[in-house]
Homo-oligomer: A and B are copies of this chain.
Amino acid sequence: MWPVVGIVGGGQLARMTYPAALELGVRLSVLAAHPDDSAAQVARDPVVADEKALDDLEAFAKACDVVTFDHEHVAQEHLRALEAAGVPLRPGSDALLYAQDKVEMRARLSALGIPCPSHRIVAGPGGVASFLREHGGQAVLKTARGGYDGKGVWLVDDVTPAEVVAEPFRAGVPVLAEERVAFRREVAAMVARSPHGQAVAYPVVESVQRDGVCAEVIAPAPEMPEERAVEAQRIALTVAAELDVVGILAVEMFETTEGDFLVNELAMRPHNSGHWTIDGAVTSQFENHLRAVLDLPLGEPQARAPYTVMVNILGGDLPEIYPAYRHVMARDPGVKVHWYGKSVRRGRKVGHVTAYGDDLESLRERAWHAAEYIRGDIDE
């Protein structure tokens, strides 16, 4: 019996999971809001439905052996209702809670002794002022739920206007204040874990953010001593096991100037920090996510080249990118460009470029050139 995996959400993560399913011989059924969504464009018989409606989710799940997710935004009450009806969700609602709610996540990780930035729930601007006084006049405010890619996050300090400090509280969900970590860089540790507890750890990567959005990933993180990489992997494996995560878990961390790791965010699905694995690892994050949710033995996570660099292609000033794409292909027949089938909007992730090999500086130059040329930031 060849199983059917249902994936809720039709974004680029579901789209990039599709080739992995095809090669594994597994059917991937995509639930998407629109037939033109990134994954729905490519999937056989996409299910166009409303992931906010429990009825739609239930009908979708009936035709699947297991259900997984393109994102973490399905409501907890729906996840629990599906599980009560016997639907195998992977990851399950208990695990997903910690990827959905930053207050729950901080509490749970702290209880496990996982190092996190100093943080506390603040009730309003007065609480923010106290937190700022105790943390050198700088803080990050985050709504407990609903944030991603820089949304739901505010950097505040002593001179931030009162109306900005008041903003996070308007959503009516708890607000966390966190210290502004003096970090050397951001890194991510990715693991895949299956229901019976097998887990594999990918090489730890450096993740370069611009304007709160991942811009570049370097695998492995350069100049990270082996024992530090193992420590980052140990943190991710601990989180996966303790939270009973099934599938891919990405743990985004700050590496401090002292070389310590502080957990920033969790993602329980294939993640931007793992896109390099399509071209750069023996088994991609997408294939290992599927293997994990099906409780199949996991594939090797090792890198295939000394370095792999991934640069996101964001929508820019060129509405029509096909001609720029042709140019990039002609200039560098060794870079791999991946498209998400999305229309171009300024700042929107529409694809990514991968380059792999020995010489990190040359790989970074090649990947950035391709991404910036397609974006329209450079014209030669």
Instruction: Kindly list chain B residues whose C-beta atoms are within 8 Å of the C-beta of A337.
Output: 23-24
User: Do A41 and B42 have beta carbons less than 8 Å apart?
Assistant: no
Interface string of A313-354 (1 = CB under 8 A from B): 000000010100110011001101111110000000001000
A329 to B297, CA, bound (A): 6
**A123 lies within 8 A of chain B by Cβ:** no
Question: Which of B23, B43, B330 is A19 in contact with, Cβ under 8 Å?
Answer: B23
Per DSSP, are chain A's interface residues mostly helix, strand or loop, or mixed?
A: loop
The reply to whether A296 and B43 contact each other, CB–CB distance below 8 Å, is no
> Is A1 touching B333 in the complex (CB atoms < 8 A)?
no
Q: How far does the Cβ of A354 sit from chain B's closest Cβ, in whole Å?
A: 10
**Complex Cα gap A83–B342 (Å):** 33
Q: Smallest distance from the beta carbon of A357 to chain B beta carbons, Å? A: 10
Residue A228 is within 8 A (CB to CB) of chain B in the complex: no
Question: Hey, what's the 0/1 contact readout for A94-132 against B, CB within 8 Å counting as 1?
Answer: 000000000000000000000000000000000000000
Known: A19-B23, A299-B329, A326-B297. A282 touches B42 (CB 8 A): no
Distance in angstroms between the alpha carbons of A41 and B334 in the assembled complex: 31
A-B contact pairs, 30 of them (CB 8 A): A1-B320, A1-B322, A2-B322, A15-B22, A18-B22, A18-B42, A19-B19, A19-B23, A23-B337, A23-B338, A23-B339, A24-B337, A24-B339, A25-B351, A27-B41, A40-B44, A41-B44, A42-B44, A43-B44, A44-B44, A282-B333, A283-B333, A296-B326, A297-B326, A297-B333, A299-B329, A299-B333, A300-B334, A304-B304, A304-B305
- Residue numbers of A with Cβ under 8 A of B are 1-2, 15, 18-19, 22-25, 27, 40-44, 46, 200, 282-283, 291, 296-300, 304-305, 320, 322, 325-326, 329-330, 333-334, 336-341, 351
